[in-house]
Amino acid sequence: MGRGLEPLFRTNVPPYRLGELLLRIAEQRLTGRLLLTSDLGERTIYVHSGYAVFAHSSQFSERLGAIGVRYGFLKREDVASALTLAREKSCEIGRAFLELGHLNGTQLFRLLGAQLVEQLAASCGPSPMRARFLANPDAADKVAILRVHPMTAVLSAVRHLPSNEHAKMLSAVAERRVAKRPLPEPAKQWLLDIGYLGDPETLASGEGTTVAALRSRLIAKLRASTQQDFDPTASPIPLDVRKEDSGRPAARSVADYLTLALLVSGAVKLADEPPSSERASAEQPQNAADGLRVSLGSALRSPIAEVPGMPSSEPRPVDIAIRAYLEDKREARTAARLAIWGPAAEVADDDNLEQTLTLYLTLKPESSDLLVLDVLPKDSPDKIRAAHAKYRAFLHKLSESLTSPLGQARLAELEMRVDDALNNLIPQPSAATNAPAPIREPLHANAEASRPRSVPPDGLRTSLPPEIDAEGLLRNIEARVREGNWQKVVELVESAASKGRALPPTLSLARALAQRELTPKPAARARGRIVVALLVGLACGWALARSGLIPFTLF
């Protein structure tokens, strides 16, 4: 994994310190893969624009099937049948769950979100790790894009600890002073999403501010509804909540969670060393509280190496759509639940149709381009292009009814995946290598310029019907000209003309020259001139259309 990519950085991560590394990655807005290795196994965390969006783990307890059984989404026999189908079809197990009807798109999305949060929370725990980050803008092209804030990962790790450990930890560091330094920008926004009503900059302000004072400020400024959002019984995923824990957390408990999350993530740092007697007694941690105290002390003595930034580059249109989804300001209740529970909380608030989520989770991670376009290996290029045009038309129709950043990001990712499948199944002609690359634009309901190329704007429908892939038709005609297959050129043009619409001038010229070639042959020199003229005409028409100097009447 990561072969051929140079790591942007390598570092050793002490126990309870991964949150600090994730927060620095978020500050730099990196995109790529974070590879974590420990004695317990390996994890790969996919990162987009600083947010963790997907993860793989070598531990069986963190696999999708195991987590589905643990949360009550699945039965063991469901997992067994899905594994059998996945092996037979060489597909992802999530697709097998969908095909067998064990999960629908919304349930699978919610389960993937719970899996991602669990893996991140475990990574933020007591195991030391070796970490390396591979910067790669294409790292997340084949995985589902979820959204987990680094502070959410730390919060989940803190909440996994027994409540008595929280009390031990906070009482031990209550009088320790915190450093007077600004909060990292991602941590400030996270606090506001959670429901902090004050200015996050004032949390650690003032000489001699202690951890106890910071906790008191959190209690005083938390929105009243924040306690409801932390209620385990209101979780978007099934939780095995004990009867005595089913009540709504008190404000002081919520403040405990947030205080520990800020400390463990390094968003708030301690400014002083612990007393020597306490430091000596904590060298061999006996429990989680001792381990956290050692972690905070090591943060002062040996901070994690700085995370370098990536050189700036022009983002792809799909990345712009994904970044809008990751960074969009959400309504207060949704933002709070997302910051507490992770992406599983987002499904109920999303305006995505069930069909959209199912299509996204089926096609986005699919490794087979034939399965993406639903065609067979023996199918002709024309049939493959027709399947591509069908999917593009369907995505365009969906774009008119989906306006949320999440919905637009899903459609932009699907558009890119479908385009990639076409390009992989029908490689570009070698003569076209110097032509401008096809522009992958995200689908926006109200953005005329970003409509799919194979679905023309209404004002240009007089040229070709919307179901015809105009660019594919032009490339096909050019390839047939180079082969000298003039009969095929005529057939291609006639098939476009059979819809009862006026042909664009470029296609009319191609048909006329092809018909001339099918008449008694002219001299070799004249034939060569015709071929050259036709190729030059096609190339010039394509180039002018791409440059925007004239409208491309093929569309």
Reported as a pLDDT band with limits 50, 70 and 90, residue 465 is: low
pLDDT at 532: 55
For residues 365 and 94, the answer to whether their CB atoms sit within 8 Å is yes
Model confidence, pTM: 0.75
Query: 136: Cβ–Cβ under 8 A, 6 or more apart, which residues?
Result: 2, 5, 31, 32, 33
* DSSP 8-state code for residue 205: -
Tens digits of residue pLDDT in 255-308: 999 999 999 999 998 887 766 655 555 455 667 777 777 887 777 777 887 888
Domain membership flag for residue 522: yes
For residues 52 and 148, the answer to whether their CB atoms sit within 8 Å is yes
Cα(103)–Cα(265) distance, integer angstroms: 35
Residues 482 and 378 in one domain: no
Domain that holds residue 490: 461-555
Cα(304)–Cα(21) distance, integer angstroms: 7
Residues 437 and 494 in one domain: no
Which tokens go with 173? 């560091």
- Of 279, 301, 323, which marks where a domain is finished? 301
Residues 66 and 170 in one domain: no
Task: Please count the structural domains in the chain.
Answer: 4
- Of 406, 428, 455, which marks where a domain is finished? 455
- Tell me how many degrees the CA angle 395-401-406 measures, rounded to the nearest 5: 75
Residues 274 and 164 in one domain: yes
Residues 164 and 133 in one domain: no
Residues 230 and 188 in one domain: yes
Domain membership flag for residue 344: no
Provide φ and ψ at 147, rounded to 5°. Answer: -145, 110
- Of 116, 151, 186, which marks where a domain is finished? 151
Residues 165 and 262 in one domain: yes
Buried (b) or exposed (e) across 378-407, using 16+ Cβ within 10 A?
eeeeeebbbbbbbbbebbbebbeebebbbb
Residues 164 and 294 in one domain: yes
Tens digits of residue pLDDT in 472-501: 677 777 777 767 777 887 777 777 765 444
Residues 504 and 451 in one domain: no
Mean pLDDT of the chain: 79
Poorest-pLDDT segment among 119-128, 386-395, 401-410, 446-455:
446-455
- Quick check: 391 pLDDT over 70? yes
Residues 486 and 536 in one domain: yes
Domain membership flag for residue 315: no
Residues 138 and 34 in one domain: yes
Reported as a pLDDT band with limits 50, 70 and 90, residue 215 is: very high
Residues 478 and 448 in one domain: no
